[in-house]
Amino acid sequence: MSETMHEALHRIFGFQQFRPNQEEIVSAILDKRDAFAVMPTGGGKSLCYQLPAHLMEGLCVVISPLISLMKDQVDAAKANGLDAEFLNSTLAPKDRARVYQALENYQLDLLYVSPERFAMPDFIATLKQAKVSFFAIDEAHCISEWGHDFRPDYLSLANIVTHFPKAGIAAFTATATHKVSDDIITKLGLRDPYLTRASFDRPNLFYQVLPKDNLDIQLLEFLHEHPNESGIIYRTTRKSVEATADFLKEQGVKALAYHAGLTPVQRKKNQEQFNRDQVQVVVATIAFGMGIDKSNVRFVLHGDLPKNMEGYYQETGRAGRDGEPARCQLYFSRSDIVRIRYFIEQTEDPNERKIAEQQLFQMVQFAEANVCRRKAVLGYFGESYEKENCSTCDICVGDVERVDATVPAQKIMSAIQRSGQKFGAVHIADIVAGAKTARIRQFGHDQLKTYGAGKDQDKKYWRRIIDALLAQECLVQNADQYSALELTPKGKQVLFGKRTFETIRQKEGKAKASMSTTGDYSPKLFEQLRAERKRLAQEEGVPPFVIFSDRTLREMALYFPDTEEEMSNISGVGAAKLAKYGDTFMTIIEMFKLMHPGEVEKRALLRIPTTAKKTRKTKISQTARETLKMAEQGFSVEAIAAVRDISEGTVSQHIQALLESGQGAKLDIDQLMEPETRILCEELFNRLSGASMRSIIEASGNRVTMADLRVVRAFAQKT
């Protein structure tokens, strides 16, 4: 093994450090040990097998259930310089032959295939010839009937161990339950696997719950505040999906609908447009799920209460896979509870009904209780969150305030107690609010001492208090007694004044919670870089995030890297991407710097943090040293570029770096370029001081190039 795993991490992927658990998994695979990893979405699973695939002798076969995603995954791997291909039914015969040829010649690091293909006997025979080092199984929960996404095709993977006894198996999933995990290990027949279960905390997600009043308007407001970010809006029914999507479209938002009622072709098209940043939002039912590999989803909004916490976690988990801040907002109204409960009541199986009731209760508790949302989410997965304040949820940042509601709680509980703990929420709220219903007269509840004790508030208010009492476990609903409300010991303590009771309320003017997702980066430059990324993506027919992630662009818009050294220190810029895109992005940054000197000054003291990389700005790269050698022998920029087969732009950057570091002290500008051109550049700089490079070039009628200007300026700054 010539390259260590840290070197490869930096060179290929352009990352400085492993994410939690990645290093251990990679090591296990390199040691030829089976591995099973449960990692949340965005945890960085693909690197766990791509890195060893590159370092190890032989082929890594990746089994992935989603044909629609394979091409993107392979494109992403290729963009990093890995030798990857896929085989599935969408491939043209010509391409298929090419892939088979590459397999025969042992040229591949990675081969992505669907489980159906793996089940074909011919294909297994081919693989047996292909020197497989290990199998990586993505979305491994698809093999389990207990999971939420069972696929019978996956069962054929149980044969890997018999057909390929010498190959390792690494299985990955983001599904959290222990039952499914155990099932996966058994079904695949993993042999003493290295087991790891990452924390389900997603620290870059901001969780918030907002009261829902006029949802479409609330969504529109949010989108107006986040015009350049893409995201998903979840709604429960096809009808509401269509309605919200139509409304947003009318309002000029680039939105698309996605639900199971669309044809597969249409769904694929919509998904692709979203992946490629051609639309801003997808309004979807939960049918829009596993197929989303887009790493720059900046928000997930829930227009309706999800049915359970698992679903909520998976859906919100699609935000912020690139590790950058992302928002998860749930718009909550009581009427959602009524709606879900209605559906639960239609369920025949009493056991299922009970489970659904319980899940709904957990959801309501999440929305209504005054504990940190993160704590609540993790608690659901049996994980305890140690920090007092997570600082990334509405409760912890204080967007909501706690209001003492002991007296109203006592009124409710007193009404429950006095009516014999036999009635449901609607009736109890009616008693306290002093409603004149037939039921109240029938039971003589207008004679109770608490009847009308809360006339000053409406019924809605009292229903909220009841929900809060349920969420904080002061009350329970008796499932066998038509959901009659009963007091718990904790509730009794509140009723008898032994403890207080608080509810939460949105702070005035705070509804639009405040988290700067910006840091100190320049949004203007970020937009320019994004536009360039989109253009390149279209040109190459890949989704934009395959080129660079949002995080990478944001770092560029923060540190303004304009030399190869600096660029290579940006997270996500590995050798292959530096060579392919470095120049293009550096040119944009360079122009931006010239046009916005104020922004440059603001960041004068900023340094790109480098932990892995040893080269500093003053250190000159090997390639720049070669340029220096030639320049010292009297070659011009043009000649150096031609001989070395690199662009003049790159050579001019080398010259700049050499002059800045003092190593180019002996260079003579009139050897590097035509004196005429130099004089023209100097004149242009004088005449158009402060103008952008692009406008200088235009003003010269394209007689000078960016490289010319850069060299002249570097020499001017030297003296």
Question: Is 46 a binder of ligand ADP (CB under 6 A)?
Answer: yes
41 binds ligand ADP (CB under 6 A): yes
Q: How many residues does the chain have?
A: 719
The answer to whether 418 and 499 have CB atoms below 8 angstroms apart is no
Options 45-53, 343-351, 485-493, 645-653: segment touching ligand ADP (CB under 6 A):
45-53
- Least Å distance, CB 200 to Zn ion, is 15
Do strands 502-506 and 400-404 pair parallel, antiparallel, or not at all (unpaired)? antiparallel
Q: Which stretch binds ligand ADP (CB under 6 A): 42-50, 107-115, 335-343, 380-388?
A: 42-50
Q: Are 33 and 192 in contact (CB under 8 A)?
A: yes
Binding mask 411-430 for ligand ADP (x = CB under 6 A): --------------------
Residue 374 near which of ligand ADP, Zn ion, none (CB within 5-8 Å, type-dependent): Zn ion
**How would you label 230-253 residue by residue, b for 16+ Cβ within 10 Å and e otherwise?**
bbbbbbbebebbebbbebbbeeeb
Question: Is the torsion defined by CA of 523, 529, 535, 540 positive or negative?
Answer: negative
Answer for the pair 157, 63: CB distance below 8 angstroms, yes or no: yes
Relative orientation angle of helices 350-368 and 309-316, to the nearest 10 degrees: 50
Which of Zn ion, ligand ADP, none lies near 475, with the C-beta cut-off 5 to 8 A by kind?
none
| Residue 44 binding ligand ADP, by CB under 6 A | yes
Residue 11 binds: one of Zn ion, ligand ADP, none (C-beta under 5 to 8 A by kind): none
Shortest CB 76 distance to ligand ADP, Å: 8
Q: Which two tokens stand for residue 300?
A: 């997930």
Q: Which does 47 bind (CB under 5 to 8 A by kind): ligand ADP, Zn ion, none?
A: ligand ADP
**Binder of residue 46, out of Zn ion, ligand ADP, none (CB less than 5 to 8 A by kind):** ligand ADP
Sorted by sequence, the CB contacts under 8 Å of residue 119 that are 6+ apart come out as: 153, 156
| Nearer CB in complex with Zn ion: 160/328 | 328
Which one of residues 8, 12, 42, 365 is an interface residue with ligand ADP (CB under 6 A)? 42
Which residues on neighbouring strands pair with residue 255, listed in sequence order?
281
DSSP state string for 622-649: HHHHHHHHHHHTT--HHHHHHHHT--HH
Per-residue binding letters, 383-402, with Zn ion (x by CB under 5 A) = -------x--x--x------
Residue 507: DSSP 8-state = P
| Cα–Cα distance, 665 to 718 (Å, whole number) | 9
Contact stretch for ligand ADP (CB under 6 A) within 18-26, 148-156, 584-592, 705-713 = 18-26
Site for ligand ADP in 566-585 (CB under 6 A): 571
When binding is defined by CB under 5 A, the residue of 33, 374, 554, 713 that contacts Zn ion is 374
Residue at token pair 């923060």? 558
Choose from Zn ion, ligand ADP, none: what does 396 bind? Cβ within 5-8 Å by kind. Zn ion
For residue 583, give the nearest of 424, 710, 435, 411 by alpha carbon: 710
Residue 39 makes contact with ligand ADP by CB under 6 A: yes
Total number of residues that touch ligand ADP (CB under 6 A) = 19
| Chain centroid offset of residue 444 CA | 57
39 vs 70 by CB, closer to ligand ADP: 39
Per rule CB under 6 A, is residue 487 in the interface with ligand ADP? no
Site for ligand ADP in 377-396 (CB under 6 A): none
Contact with ligand ADP (CB under 6 A) among 11, 18, 641, 653: 18
**Six token digits for residue 18:** 């492993």
Full 3-state SS string of 579-624 = HHHHHHHHHHHHHHHHHCHHHHHHCCCCCCCCCCCCCCCCCCCHHH
- Cβ closer to Zn ion: 173 or 472? 472
Q: Which of Zn ion, ligand ADP, none does residue 314 bind (CB under 5 to 8 Å by kind)? A: none
b/e per residue 51-62 (b: at least 16 CB within 10 A): bbbbbbeebbbb
Q: x-or-dash pattern for ligand ADP, window 128-167, by CB under 6 A?
A: ----------------------------------------
- The option from Zn ion, ligand ADP, none interacting with 372 (CB < 5 to 8 A, set by class) reads Zn ion
Tokens representing 372 are: 């940190």
Q: Which stretch binds ligand ADP (CB under 6 A): 39-47, 118-126, 369-377, 378-386?
A: 39-47
Compute the CA torsion angle 656, 662, 666, 669 (nearest 10 deg).
20
Check binding of 19 to ligand ADP (CB under 6 A). yes
Rule CB under 6 A: which of 317-336 touch ligand ADP?
321-323
When the beta carbons of 19 and 422 are compared against ligand ADP, the nearer one is: 19
CA-CA distance, 370 to 471, in Å (whole number)? 9
Q: Candidates 33, 35, 43, 667: give the one binding ligand ADP (CB under 6 A).
A: 43
User: In 625-656, which positions are buried (b, 16+ CB within 10 angstroms) versus exposed (e)?
Assistant: eebbebbeeebbbbbbbeebebebbbbbbbbb
Q: Which residue is nearest to ligand ADP (CB)?
A: 44
Per the listing, tokens 């003092």 go with 662
Classified as helix, coil or strand, 404 is strand
What is the smallest separation between the CB atom of 199 and ligand ADP, expressed in angstroms? 13
Per-residue tokens: 380: 């659901």
Structural element, H or E, at residue 715: helix 706-718
- Residue 42: name its binding partner from Zn ion, ligand ADP, none (Cβ under 5 to 8 Å by kind): ligand ADP
Window 236-265: residues binding ligand ADP (CB under 6 A): none
Q: Give 281's strand partners.
A: 231, 255
Nearer to Zn ion, 41 or 392 (CB): 392
Residue ranges in 262-301 that form contacts with ligand ADP under rule CB under 6 A: 295
Tokens of 496: 């008898």
Window of 372-380, 506-514, 547-555, 697-705 that interacts with Zn ion by CB under 5 A? 372-380
The answer to whether 169 touches 157, Cβ cutoff 8 Å, is no
229 contact choice in Zn ion, ligand ADP, none (CB below 5 to 8 Å, kind-dependent): none
Q: Which is nearer to ligand ADP, 451 or 545 (CB)?
A: 545
**In whole angstroms, what separates CA 502 from the centre of its chain?**
35
Name the amino acid, one letter, at 230. S
Q: Rounded to the nearest whole angstrom, what is the least distance from the CB of residue 565 to ligand ADP in the complex?
A: 20
Binding interface with Zn ion (CB under 5 A): 372, 374, 390, 393, 396
Binding interface with ligand ADP (CB under 6 A): 15, 17-19, 22, 39, 41-47, 295, 321-323, 549, 571
